Amino acid sequence: MANSFHLPVLTKEILNYLNLKKGGVYIDCTLGGGGHSKAILEKIYPHGLLIGIDQDIEAIETAKEELKSYIDKVKLVKGNFKNLEEILSDLKTETVSGIIFDLGVSFHQLKEKERGFSFKEDSHLDMRMDLNQEFNADILINSYSEKDLAEIFEKYGEERFSKRIARLIVIERKKKTFTTTKQLADLIIKTLPRTKKRHTWRIHPATRVFQAIRIEVNQELKALEKGLNQAIRVLEDKGRICVISYHSLEDRIVKHLFKEAEREGKEQKNYGLKIVTKKPIRPSLEEVRDNPKARSAKLRVAEKIMFTTI
Ligand SMILES: C[S@@+](CC[C@H](N)C(=O)[O-])C[C@H]1O[C@@H](n2cnc3c(N)ncnc32)[C@H](O)[C@@H]1O
């Protein structure tokens, strides 16, 4: 199931919770290397259909190869899941039996130097998931005001030193434009109070700021809200939605939207979501040992139901 592009997380749990059925149509909104999609196809093939979406063309190309033995039951779309309903309408599909979101970036995006996601590699400040998009991390760092930078670092990175880092970026960029990940990571280390400068940190000091920039460049949280709302609408009766998130900002949105959809369904005696996982499912110790990147994953699952019937 694994390929060097990405090692899928919580796969057994996803298969279990999706309640796969013969002839069902499933959407993988975050195709990546096709790991989760392949696991689904192994269960449903030769019946049903798998629609895979990713905004990264490199993911689409890798998944095409990974899923080639099932190709007559696969439709791959390069697109953003924030346009889910439009994508489905283009495919002449109205409702689906199950949907998965495995948020964030793939290992491939993180480790490919040129993609500019990682402070561990020195590369151009990029961080775009969609390579056709013009706006990237370089433009953000060199053009946002000090106030906007601080706000993003605070809001999307929950960074304690957001104001201090933003101030220093604005001072430094007057002398030299920021172009590389190392330039930015080194500056972030420089902003640390002296006691924190020694290399005793638990996570690299640039982690939070890089997360914040990535979220802003790709408008990740807005896309998540839009995508989830549309996903709820296109699910068929008793269809399930599974979302794996990797940080608290994403998880909060998923938890809140699921609860809202449950409340609305109950109040209006109409379709809504029944929350299947009261608490998020975490990877087993064994999975984390084999794949340490899985350690922050949280899976939430909900089922679309008609509230008048219970
Ligand atoms: C964690 S990886 C998914 C890995 C996949 N589950 C697998 O098994 O290989 C997340 C993927 O979602 C894609 N992605 C993130 N946000 C997206 C969005 N709004 N629309 C479409 N794709 C998105 C990324 O480009 C990345 O390839």
Minimum CA distance residue for ligand 1 atom 15: 104
Whole-number Å distance, alpha carbon 112 to ligand 1 midpoint, is 15
In this structure, the residue with its CA closest to atom 20 of ligand 1 is 80
To test the pocket of ligand 1, the residue of 1, 30, 249 to mutate (highest count of ligand atoms within 8 Å of its CB) is: 30
- Looking at 218, 238, 268, the residue that finishes a domain is 218
**In this structure, are 123 and 68 located in the same domain?**
no
Pocket of ligand 1 (CB under 6 A): 6, 8, 30, 32-36, 53-56, 59, 80-82, 102, 104-106, 129, 223
Q: Report pLDDT digits (tens) over 72-91.
A: 999 999 999 999 999 999 99
Question: What is the reported pLDDT for 120?
Answer: 83
One domain, residues 119 and 212: yes
pLDDT, mean of residues 193-205: 72
- For ligand 1, atom 2: residue with the closest CA: 106
Whole-number Å distance, alpha carbon 142 to ligand 1 midpoint, is 27
Query: Domain for residue 1, yes or no?
Result: no
Same domain? For 228 and 101 the reply is: yes
pLDDT in tens, 269-301: 999 999 999 999 999 999 999 999 999 999 999
Q: What spacing in Å lies between the alpha carbon of 191 and ligand 1's midpoint?
A: 32
Provide the pLDDT for residue 308: 85
Closest ligand 1 atom to 63 CA: 9
Quote the percentage of the chain above a pLDDT of 70. 96
For residues 118 and 101, state if they share a domain.
no
pLDDT tens digits, residue range 138-188?
A: 999 999 999 999 999 999 999 999 999 999 999 999 999 999 999 999 999
The CATH number of residue 184's host domain is: 1.10.150.170
Higher pLDDT, 205 or 223: 223
Report if residue 6 sits inside a domain.
no
**Which atom of ligand 1 is nearest the CA belonging to 244?**
1
Q: Which amino acid, one-letter code, is at 234?
A: V
Q: Is a pLDDT exceeding 90 seen at residue 6?
A: no
Q: Are residues 96 and 156 in the same domain?
A: no
Which pLDDT belongs to residue 310? 52
Domain identity same for 21 and 102: yes
CA atoms within 13 A on the CB side of 291: 18
168, 236: one domain:
no
Looking at the 3D structure of the chain, how many domains does it have?
Answer: 2
In-domain check, residue 244: yes
Distance 144 CA to ligand 1 centre (A): 26
Residue 46 maps to a domain: yes
**The predicted structure's pLDDT at residue 1:** 40
Bridge partner residues of 74 (DSSP): 50
| pLDDT score of 191 | 87
pLDDT of residue 195: 64
Secondary structure (H, E, C), 143-184? HCCHHHHHHHHHHHHCCCCHHHHHHHHHHHHHHCCCCEHHHH
* CATH code assigned at 72: 3.40.50.150
Q: Specify if 235 maps to a domain.
A: yes
Ligand 1 atom nearest to CA at 106: 2
C-alpha 107 to ligand 1 mean position (Å): 10
CA of 79 to the centre of ligand 1 (A): 11
- In terms of domains, do 157 and 71 share one? no
pLDDT tens for 255-267 read 999 999 999 999 9
What tens digit of pLDDT does each residue of 40-73 get?
999 999 999 999 999 999 999 999 999 999 999 9
Same domain, 98 and 134: no
Last residue of a domain, one of 189, 218, 247: 218
Same domain, 213 and 226: no
Domain with 141 in it = 113-218
Same domain, 129 and 164: yes
Distances (CA, A) of 278 to 182, 267, 275, 298, 299: 41, 20, 6, 12, 11
Ligand 1: distance of its center to the CA of 44 in Å?
Answer: 22
Average model confidence (pLDDT) for the chain?
94
Edge-to-edge strand list for the sheet holding 298-306: 74-78, 49-54, 25-28, 96-102, 235-245, 298-306, 271-275
- Domain end: 218, 233, 267, which one? 218
**Ligand 1 atom nearest to CA at 100:** 6
Percent of residues, the chain, with pLDDT higher than 90: 88
User: How buried is 145 (Cβ within 10 angstroms: 0-12 exposed, 13-18 middle, 19+ buried)?
Assistant: exposed
Please tell me whether the overall predicted TM-score, pTM, comes out greater than 0.85 for this model.
yes
Whether residue 2 is predicted with pLDDT greater than 60 in this model: the reply is no
Q: Identify the band that residue 198 occupies on the pLDDT scale cut at 50, 70 and 90.
A: low
Query: Is residue 301 a part of any domain in this protein?
Result: yes
Counting every residue written for the chain, the total comes to 310
pLDDT of res. 95:
96
Mean pLDDT, rounded, for 196-205: 72
Q: Are residues 228 and 195 in the same domain?
A: no
**Can you give the pLDDT at residue 199?**
64
Task: Report how far ligand 1's centroid is from the alpha carbon of 219 (Å).
Answer: 13
